[in-house]
Structures are given as structure tokens and as C-alpha cells.
Amino acid sequence: MSQRLVVADLSKTYPNGVRALDRVSLEIPRGMYGLLGPNGAGKSTLMRTLATLQEADSGSARLDDIDMLRDHLAVRAILGYLPQEFGVYPKVSAGVMLDHIAVMKGIGPARVRRELVDAMLDRVNLYAHRKKAVASFSGGMKQRFGIAQALIGNPQLLIVDEPTAGLDPTERNRFYNLLSEIGENVIVILSTHIVQDVKELCSQMAIIHLGRVLYAGTPAAAEQSLAGKVWRKSIDKRDLERYRGEYQIISTKLVAGAPLIHVFSDQPLADGFTPVDPGLEDVFFSKVHLAA
């Protein structure tokens, strides 16, 4: 059973000059690992590189004794991958589609595949829909099918890229529970820009922005690192730009029509500011803001 994925100094620059990965180094143990960052941070580039779908310019990635950047066949034999978007054949049923994927992963004979496919569809609560075309599924059902295809073959490493985007709360909770169960036995990398996904699911995490790792550790330690450094105040809309010029505003949201600002400061603030117990969202916004 795999224990640790070690990424060291991984870099990737696209032909247009965008540096998507800038010497990324991470140690990822078995369990749920959150990779948090805004859109365009480099998360998908890292996921696609680890999934052998594109090459890095430099650096290394090892899953125990497997060189992930060179031994692509070995990686694919132990990898489950759910990309942000995946295509399906328009008229093919869930059962037939999953059987086809099992064939491509070298699982056989047919009787063994059929039992595995039925068990996997039952695990993701899709057995009753096995004869329906995947293209007709709702967003949540497609995501559950995506997990089923990723789990075929008992992967040691599961990569899921923005898995809960567009899901309703019920589907999202089901997805949380399924990922948590899977994460008890394998490495699961959850790539997302949704802070709540990481907070609720992951014991370890990293924040990535502009291709660089800004934080790696536990969510609790991340929150503790901002203790006593986040302040909030409700202000008039007309004063927002003035406050932006005077303070390090890390987030703004409207509450009863007035902006409620969260400000980063090492020193206590007067003028109506009150201290805030920092949450993971404060950590995320402060890291991204201060790195910009």
C-alpha cells in the first residue's frame, strides 16, 4: 500500500510564457490532501502532470519507488483520475461504459468485470441507473460515475480535480462521504478552489498561487498562523477604496448592503475594528493577497 508521494522542485512553463509551476515541492501522505488555489493557480497543471497527461520541464515526483515523470505505465496502473471535465459516449449506458474502462485497465475475465462493475456502481449509488446513458445523468450522478471509473482497479493514488463544482448541497455531501471513505486507504489529492471542501475533508493541505506553494501543512495550523492578525469592520461603500489604500484588506463581502472587510495586521487596530478568530478562508485570501 502506497504511503507517500514526494514532489520536488517541479516546474512547467508553457510556450506562451506562462509559468504554471514554479519549483513546486510537496510531501503527500496517505489520506485526503487538499490542494487549494484560485482558478489559474497551477492546480490543474500539477494534477495533469502527476496523471502523466503532460510533461514537466524539470523536477521530480515519486510515489514510493515509482518515478512518476518517467515510468508512465507504472503510474497508470495504480492511478485513478477524475478530471474537472470528462467526456462520455452519448448513448452508452453506465454499465457498458464502466465495463469498457475496466477492459482498458486490463481487468478480466468478463464475469470478474461484471461483478466489479456492479459492485462499483452500487458503491456510488448508481446501480439502479446502470442501464441509462451517462450523458443523461445529472451533474451529481456524472461526478459519482467519474469516481466509479477512477476507482476501477483499486488505485493507490486518486486525483480529483474540482470535483464538487456545480453540485447541489445533497450531492456535495454524498461526495464528501465517499471521498472520506476512500481516503482511509489510499492517497487522495483533492484539487479545488472551494475552501470548505478542504476544511471538511482534508487532514493535510497546500495553498498554491501563480504556480508557487504558499503554504503546506494542516488546516488547523494554517488557521493558527493568523491568530491575532485578522480584524474586521463594517464600512460605508463610499469608503472602500480609501480603506484599500490604508489597510491590507484580505476579503470583502456585503452584509445588509454594507461591505464587511477583513484586514490583515500584525498590530492591533483601533477605529472600530474588532478581532476575528481566523478561518481557513482568511488564510487562503491572506496568502493569495500578500503573494500578489
Q: For the chain, which residues make up each domain, given as ranges?
A: 4-222, 228-276
Residues 6+ apart with CB under 8 A from 44: 84, 161, 162, 191
194 alpha carbon, distance to own chain's centre: 8
Q: Are 84 and 99 in contact (CB under 8 A)?
A: no
Q: Are 130 and 118 in contact (CB under 8 A)?
A: yes
Of 291, 292, 290, 234, the closest CA to residue 264 belongs to 290
Partnered with residue 252 across adjacent β-strands are 261
Question: Which pLDDT score, from 0 to 100, does residue 123 have?
Answer: 86
Of 97, 178, 167, 120, the closest CA to residue 139 belongs to 167
End-to-end CA distance of the chain: 39
How many residues are recorded in the chain? 292
**For the domain bounded by 4-222, which CATH number is listed?**
3.40.50.300
| C-alpha torsion sign, points 47, 186, 88, 76 | positive
Question: Which pLDDT score, from 0 to 100, does residue 281 have?
Answer: 93
**Grid-cell match 478480466, residue found:** 108
Q: pLDDT means per 10 residues in the chain (292 residues)?
A: 86 95 96 91 93 95 94 90 78 92 85 92 92 89 86 89 77 81 89 86 94 95 94 94 94 91 93 93 89 66
